[in-house]
Amino acid sequence: MKQHTLALLAAALALAYGGPVQAQSNEELLKELRALKERVTQLEDKLKTAEAKNAKPSEAQWGMTPEQVREFNRIAVKTEALEDSQEALGLKNLKITGFIDPTFIANKAQNTAGFQLLNKDAYAYDAGYFGMALLDFQKEMDGGTRYKLTLAPDRGTGSVFNGGSIVHEASVNIPLGDLQTRLWVGQIPDWTGYEMTAPPLNKLITHNLLFDYTAPTAYTGAVADITRGKWMIKAGLANVNNSRKSAGNKTPALVYRVDYAKGEFQGFGFTGLHGKAYNYATDALDGSGALRFADQAGKDTRVDMLEIDAYFIRGDFTWQGQLSWGRQRHAAIFNEDGQLRDASWSGLSTLMAYKFIPRWEVTGRLDYLRNSKNGGGLFGYSYDDSHNGIGRGNGFFWDEANPDPDTAGKGANRYALSLGLSYLLNQNTIWKLEYRYDGASLPVFLNTKDGSFTKTNQLLGTSMVLSF
C-alpha cells in the first residue's frame, strides 16, 4: 500500500515538473512533496491577492470597515422601520402647506382703516380672499389617487356659500386607467379667469371685478380631468355655489374648462357654465316685509356663462387678460313692479407686471364691467349694494305712488384701476402695496360720513404674505 502511494506521488511530481521523476528514495520523495506543497500555497496566496485587487466596490462593502458596515446596516433597519410606521399612520406621501396674509386696508367711502385677518365682511373687492390663514393637506397614494383638504376660516369658498364652513376645498382625484385621465370629486374651487384665489399666487391684494362678481365660487360634484399633450380639459356636472340642492331643485349644471399651454410662458384657456343656480332675486321683499315672489322663492334659474383668458410671459414682463359674458334668468335687480327680469353682464380685465429688479415687481390692472340692463344684476348679486357699488345708486327707492321704471331699469357700469408694488423678501415672504381707484357710471358708492352717494371710491392696502 505504501509503495502504491509513493507511486502516485511520483506521478503527481511528474505532472508538476513536466517530466518523469527518476527513481528516488522515500525521503527524497517526501522532500519534493513538501516543496510542491509550499509552491501551491504561494500560488493560492497570489491568486487571493489578485482577486482582492480586482473586486468590485459592492463586493467589498463600498470600501467600508466592518464597523462601518454594521453601522450602515443599523441605519438601514431603522429607516425601514420609520417608513413602515409612517405608512401605518397614513403619513406616507403627505404634504402640508399653508400661508397667512395679515392685510391693512383703508377704504375712503366706507371711512374705515384697519387690519383684515379672519374677520367677516361682505364678499367683494374690499374683503375677497385676502386676510386669510389657510392650511392645505395633500396626500397621494401609491396607485396615483390624490386627496386634498384645504381649510380657510372666515375666508375661502365655504365661508361664502355654505354657512361659514371653514372648508375651502375637499376633493379626491382618482386615476382612470392612466395618470393623465382622472375623476375629480368633491367641493372644488372655481377655475374661471387668470387670477388665483390664494394670495401667494395673486400679484395684487384685491382681485379684478370679473373675479369678484361674475365667476362662481365653487362646484360640488364630479369632473373628468384629462391631459393630452399640451391640452388640459376639465368637464363635469356639479351644484354651483351650493353644497347640496334644496327641495324642488334637481338639475346640476354643466361646468368645463379647457387650457392650451403653447409653452411654459404662454397659453390660453376658456371656461363655461350652463345649467341652474340659486337665484337671490326670488328672495326680494315687498314693502310689508313679505316675499314679493313667494311662489318663486328658493328656485334655481338658468345660468349661462362663457369666459376666455390668456397669459404671456417674456423675461421680466407678464401680461394676462380675460373676457367674460353671462346671464341669469329672472335675476335682475329691478323687480319692484312684480316682474322678474333677466340679468346680463359682460366685462374685461387685463393685467401687466414688470420686474424692474429681480425682487421688485410693479403691477397694473384695468377692469370694466358692463351691467346696466334691468337695473343691474350679477351672478350672486340681485340687489342694490352701496358698499361695493352695484345696482342703481343714489339710495334708490321704489315709490309705489310715483313709480319710475326708467330709473329702476338702469344699473351702473363699473370700472377699476389698480396699481401695485411687491417685494420678495425671501422664497416664503412677499410684501405687497396696492392703490385702487373704483368708478361707476352712476353714484352707487355710499359715503358713510354724510350719507351721500358718489361715483368713485378709493382704496389703499398693504399686506405681508407668509407661506410654508
Report for 77-81, 251-255, 346-350: range of highest mean pLDDT: 346-350
User: For residues 157 and 151, which has the higher predicted lDDT (pLDDT)?
Assistant: 151
Q: How far apart are CA 400 and CA 12, in angstroms?
A: 132
Lowest mean pLDDT among 117-126, 254-263, 411-420: 117-126
pLDDT at 22: 47
Mean pLDDT of 442-467: 95
* pLDDT at residue 40, as a whole number: 66
Give the pLDDT score at 13: 46
- To the nearest whole number, what is the mean pLDDT of the chain? 87
pLDDT of 150 > 90? The answer is: yes
Residues 177-186, mean pLDDT to the nearest whole number: 94
- Measured distance CA(215)–CA(234) in Å, rounded: 16
**Which has the higher per-residue pLDDT, 251 or 364?**
364
Per-residue model confidence (pLDDT) at position 201: 92
Higher pLDDT, 81 or 336: 336
Taking 60 as the threshold, does the pLDDT of residue 17 lie above it?
Answer: no
pLDDT at 449 over 80: yes
> What is the CB-side half-sphere exposure of residue 22 using CA atoms within 13 A?
0
- DSSP-derived secondary structure for 93-132: TEEEEEEE--EEEEETTTTEEEEESS----SSTTTTT-S-
CA distance 188 to 199: 18
- Residue 127 pLDDT greater than 50, yes or no: yes
Q: Please report, for residues 142, 177, 251, 390, 395, the alpha-carbon distance to residue 385 in angstroms, rounded to integers and kept in the order given.
A: 50, 49, 29, 5, 9
| DSSP string for residues in 30-68 | HHHHHHHHHHHHHHHHHHHHHHHHH--TGGGGGG--HHH
Q: Is pLDDT of 111 > 50?
A: yes
Rounded to whole angstroms, how far apart are CA atoms 166 and 158?
A: 6
pTM of the predicted model, to two decimals?
A: 0.79
Residue 284: its pLDDT value, please? 82
Q: What is the pLDDT of residues 313-338, one digit of tens each?
A: 999 999 999 999 999 999 999 999 98
Reading the block at residue 139, the C-alpha cell is 396626500
Cβ-based burial of 331 (10 A; exposed 0-12, middle 13-18, buried ≥19): buried
Q: CA 58 → CA 63, 64, 78, 140, distances in Å? A: 8, 10, 21, 34
Q: How confident is the model at residue 53 (pLDDT cuts 50, 70, 90)?
A: low
pLDDT digits (tens, 9 = 90+) for 356-410: 999 999 999 999 999 999 999 998 888 899 988 999 989 899 988 899 999 999 9
Query: Which residue shows C-alpha cell 404674505?
Result: 465
pLDDT of 415 over the 70 cut: yes
Given this model, what pLDDT does residue 21 score? 46
